[in-house]
Amino acid sequence: MKILQNKAGGENRVALTDDQGRVISFAFQRDISLNEGDIVSARVVTFHPTLHGYFLETEKGSVFLPDAAPLTEGQTITVRIKREARASKEATAERTTEAPSPAPDKANVWAEMFKVGIDTISTADMDTLIAEAMTPDIYLDNGGELHIERTRIGWTIDVDSGRSRDDLTTVNKIAIVEVARQVILKNMAGLILIDLAGSKRGRIRPVLEKALQQAFAGDNRTTLSGWTPAGLFEIQRTRTTASLWDSHGEQPVAVYYQIVRNWYTCRMGHPMVTAHPNVVALLTKHHPEIAVKPCFDKPVSFFEIREE
């Protein structure tokens, strides 16, 4: 087991690998974002009666505080971030009396937890590890395949026997080990539906369910909910940090950090960045020294850096 770390442009990216050198899990901490474990001051904005909680405002964005004792609009309190923001959802917090402070460096936390050292790697090497982990199609050594999709409702994982000559039980058992790895690697959370090969044949379900229990035994965030009427296996997984796809997909904050890392690397004296308006807004706020130009006809992931 080894910890790999890359710090650049206000972003701390950490990867935990197993004894075979494969990445098990990632962690990302960003200066401009609310990270799990951050303790921050927050101003009460409004109470939401339906959600039974308060929306708060911090220097780094909005926060939701559920099931809070009576608070006054405009009141300042201290909160700890329990769940990071994702897509259209605010970060979730809990009240605390501790002094504001950033979350501990995740590399140091893991180093202490697993009693291993930390190796510093280049930005390019970390980019490669993340790109490899984000692939939605996984091809197994025995010829089986996994295909992963994300929707607003949740995640789906399709297990396909592909070119494998193994029987369906063996195909699924091998696939289930990789399913558990991918769930943790991609940091999937919420509703996860798994379509196992041939699982509509009821006689193999007890064996597959036992294999799933074994595969997820070490992950205390996962609850196995059982089979749906349609023959899919349902999993519920608690969310604390954003998924890998939320962190590094077409999200403005992910593109912002990619631009900042590239800017530090290219060492231009007067860079001009062309990017999506949402990305331009972040650059203008946090790096006013960089000249920016909004681009309205390209996806969020597009950007260009050139000498002004």
Q: What angle do CA 178, 184, 9 make, to 5 degrees?
A: 125
Domain extent, residue 80, equals: 39-95
Give mean pLDDT, residues 244-264.
Answer: 85
Question: pLDDT tens, 40-86?
Answer: 999 999 999 998 999 999 999 999 999 768 999 999 999 999 999 87
Residue 127 lies in a domain: no
Helix, strand or coil for residue 2? Answer: strand
Range ranked top by mean pLDDT from 96-100, 161-165, 200-204, 269-273:
96-100
Q: Is the domain of 296 the same as that of 227?
A: no
pLDDT at 271 over 90: no
Percent of the chain with pLDDT over 90: 80
Please give the pLDDT value at position 87.
67
Q: Is the domain of 17 the same as that of 113?
A: yes
- CATH code of 69's domain: 2.40.50.140
Q: Is the domain of 117 the same as that of 142?
A: no
Q: Is the domain of 226 the same as that of 267?
A: no
- Nearest-angstrom CA–CA distance, 306 and 194: 45
Q: Is the domain of 10 the same as that of 110?
A: yes
- Nearest-angstrom CA–CA distance, 213 and 180: 10
8 Å CB contact between 29 and 80: no
Give mean pLDDT, residues 191-197.
Answer: 96
Tokens (6 digits) for 138: 């996984």
Please give the pLDDT value at position 31.
94
Residue 116 lies in a domain: yes
- Nearest-angstrom CA–CA distance, 193 and 195: 7
Q: Are strands 303-307 and 271-275 parallel, antiparallel or unpaired?
A: antiparallel
Alpha-helix runs per DSSP H in the chain: 106-114, 123-133, 168-185, 205-215, 244-248, 252-266, 277-286
Q: Is 265 left (phi over 0), alpha (psi -120 to 50) or beta?
A: alpha
Helix, strand or coil for residue 59? Answer: coil
Give the domain-ending residue among 197, 212, 237: 237
Mean pLDDT over each residue of the chain, to the nearest integer: 93
pTM (two decimals): 0.88
Task: Measure Cα distances from 128 to 123, 124, 131, 134 in Å.
Answer: 9, 6, 5, 10
Q: Is the domain of 203 the same as that of 263?
A: no
Q: Give me the number of domains the chain comprises.
A: 4
* DSSP state, residue 18: -
